Chain A
């Protein structure tokens, strides 16, 4: 009897290890995560408008139907990116995600304070490589450091009522993400 109880206890302990291991390994093996879903429709370093979620079809679960959204799937191996997103009437936000869909930065129209959200996206190493004089002129430009070389930028504009959706769609469709400078 004692022997079986001990085995049960040992099994449960081992189960704890199995549990923690699966939780940690899962993000690396997931094939249906947001990045993989978007990989199919979004070319690299281009803004692609996402179709609005409907009951029949949505590219990702839990999308907010009151928003028009677009994504830029980025790859910074060739150099930094420049993102320009015009703001729409109500509320516009730009959120940055790592390759594993973790949000690391977000900015909205009010924080941007202009008619467009403009910023430069680069890796930490690329930021360090910036010449000093550029860093000085960069004082008035927003630099976002990406923790990973690839990732996602989500540009979203709210349509507070359905009639404003075309305007919100137009705003996100006009967003651009392009290489910051021509390739040498």
Chain B
């Protein structure tokens, strides 16, 4: 009886630990070779045949086609610069400059990777659309209510993801986390 109970206990622990770790790895994006700059993280290797088993599993599970490295690099932000999870009810300011690329796009998705419906049908900004300051830097306000300048509406959803994709860019596997690459800062304020 004790043997049976013990085995059962060990098996239950195994299932919880194993499946729990798998679930966490897939929902948090736990592939190797992450490139983190500020609040932004990219997995350039996931867009190549060197993609590790974690990247492969998360690609298969989500159903997306990853951005090929020869095409571009996709950076994801889930938090602001002080580590708080992005909240669609707050006033979030993205500002700064981006690394060299022929084009970039900044897109807002919900956690499932779907676009968020809003009255002005604005889901993204491209590098050509965004209004810049004289020095070439830009500011995008991500907020539930209309804002002057570059406004990316959240429709007040609680959690969202920002994706900044660079096309035809030298940023990639060999990019080091450091000063040479500058990404927009993310500042969140005015939460209800």
- A and B found bound together: yes
Interface residues of A (CB under 8 A from B): 3-4, 7-8, 10-19, 21-24, 26-27, 30, 32-34, 36-37, 53-56, 58, 60-66, 90-91, 93, 95-98, 100-108, 110-111, 147, 152, 154, 156, 158-161
Chain B 99-131 interface mask (CB, 8 Å, partner A; 1/0): 000110101010011111100000110111100
Min C-beta distance of B13 to chain A, whole Å:
3
B16 within 8 A of A: yes
Chain B residues near A55 (CB, 8 Å)? 114-117, 123
Chain B residues near A36 (CB, 8 Å)? 63
Report whether B112 and A91 are in contact in the complex, using a CB–CB cutoff of 8 Å: no
Cα-based distance from A53 to B107 in the complex (angstroms): 12
**A22, closest chain B residue (CB):** B22
Q: Count how many chain B residues have C-beta atoms less than 8 Å from C-beta atoms of the other chain.
A: 60
Report whether A61 and B56 are in contact in the complex, using a CB–CB cutoff of 8 Å: no
Interface residues of B (CB under 8 A from A): 6, 9-22, 25, 47-49, 51, 53-54, 56-57, 59-72, 74, 102-103, 105, 107, 109, 112-117, 123-124, 126-129, 163, 165, 167-168
**B25, closest chain A residue (CB):** A23
Cα-based distance from A172 to B64 in the complex (angstroms): 20
Report whether A7 and B6 are in contact in the complex, using a CB–CB cutoff of 8 Å: yes
Report whether B57 and A101 are in contact in the complex, using a CB–CB cutoff of 8 Å: no
The verdict on A64 contacting B68 (CB below 8 Å), with A11-B12, A108-B168 known, is no
The verdict on A12 contacting B14 (CB below 8 Å), with A96-B68, A102-B49, A108-B71 known, is yes
**What are 14 of the A-B contact pairs (CB < 8 Å)?**
A4-B9, A14-B11, A16-B17, A17-B14, A19-B21, A19-B22, A32-B63, A34-B65, A58-B113, A95-B70, A97-B68, A101-B65, A102-B59, A103-B65
Min C-beta distance of B62 to chain A, whole Å:
6
The verdict on A3 contacting B113 (CB below 8 Å), with A91-B167, A107-B70, A160-B126 known, is no
Chain B residues near A15 (CB, 8 Å)? 13-18, 20-21
The verdict on A14 contacting B48 (CB below 8 Å), with A33-B63, A62-B163, A66-B124 known, is no
The verdict on A34 contacting B68 (CB below 8 Å), with A14-B14, A15-B14 known, is no
Report whether A61 and B15 are in contact in the complex, using a CB–CB cutoff of 8 Å: no
**B76, closest chain A residue (CB):** A62
Chain A residues near B25 (CB, 8 Å)? 19, 23
Most buried by B among A17, A65, A108: A65
Min C-beta distance of B68 to chain A, whole Å:
3
Cα-based distance from A107 to B102 in the complex (angstroms): 14
A-B contact count (CB 8 A): 207
Report whether B103 and A90 are in contact in the complex, using a CB–CB cutoff of 8 Å: yes
The verdict on A33 contacting B60 (CB below 8 Å), with A7-B6, A7-B9, A18-B17 known, is yes
Most buried by A among B53, B114, B127: B114
Chain B residues near A158 (CB, 8 Å)? 103, 105, 126, 167
Report whether B117 and A103 are in contact in the complex, using a CB–CB cutoff of 8 Å: no
Chain B residues near A102 (CB, 8 Å)? 48-49, 51, 56, 59, 66
